Amino acid sequence: MTGAQTAGRPARLPRSARRKQLLAAAQDVFVAQGYHAAAMDDIAERAGVSKPVLYQHFPGKLELYLALLDTHCDAIVARVHAAMAATNDNKERVKGAVQAYFDFVDHKDEAFRLVFESDLRNEPAVAERVARVEKGSIAAITDTIISDTGVSRARAELLASGLVGAAETAAQFWLANGRQVPKGDAEALLAALIWRGIASFPLQGESA
């Protein structure tokens, strides 16, 4: 029959769908085993494809890993940008930025381990992508601080780096210690701490 699927042969997926399938399988394997212990054989088996099919899309294990990092690094920066753009209430912006990090580490796919706990941090291409998360998040918050307070860029960047560092560190600590504080409460506690510091800087046009 014309167009009939050959018995025993998997259906041919569009390239974009196959790539998505392979990345999902690779993420499962990298999260469970780490980069160094993971093998392309494991990823192909997890995806239910042959190794030649896997190599058609990704020439090597590093390329697979970097593709995943690009996806998740861009996603967390986008979340911070969205938190800044979602409201003009700076207290809510702080909450949104904190929530972005807690949501990232608390997601069931554990993708945060690829970004914050990578066993390949000495690889320049990996280090660059991990640094991009911090730089991108700091840049988003810096621009907001400057527009609202009028402080210099250097001072705004320093404040933004403190917010990002606190959110990232606290979210990872919360997860590593077994989520002893309910997630919403943990976010509120950290946001309150950060806000009490940032709120001391007056808005443009206000007196100190």
**Average of per-residue pLDDT across 48-64:** 92
Ramachandran region of residue 78, left (φ > 0), alpha (ψ -120 to 50) or beta? alpha
Q: Quote the DSSP letter at residue 147.
A: H
Contact 44, 54 (CB under 8 A): yes
Per-residue model confidence (pLDDT) at position 200: 66
pLDDT 10s digits, 2-20: 444 444 445 677 788 889 9
Question: How does pLDDT run across 87-105, given as a tens digit for each residue?
Answer: 888 889 899 999 999 999 9
Average pLDDT, the chain: 86
- Please report the pLDDT score of residue 208 as a whole number: 44
Q: What pLDDT does 11 receive?
A: 60
Contacts of 28 (CB under 8 A, 6+ apart): 46
Mean pLDDT of 146-152: 80
Identify the CA nearest to 108 among candidates 31, 174, 190.
Answer: 31
120: its two tokens: 């390949």
Quick one: average pLDDT of 75-85?
92
C-alpha dihedral sign at 42, 47, 48, 52: negative
User: What is the token pair recorded at 21?
Assistant: 């399938």
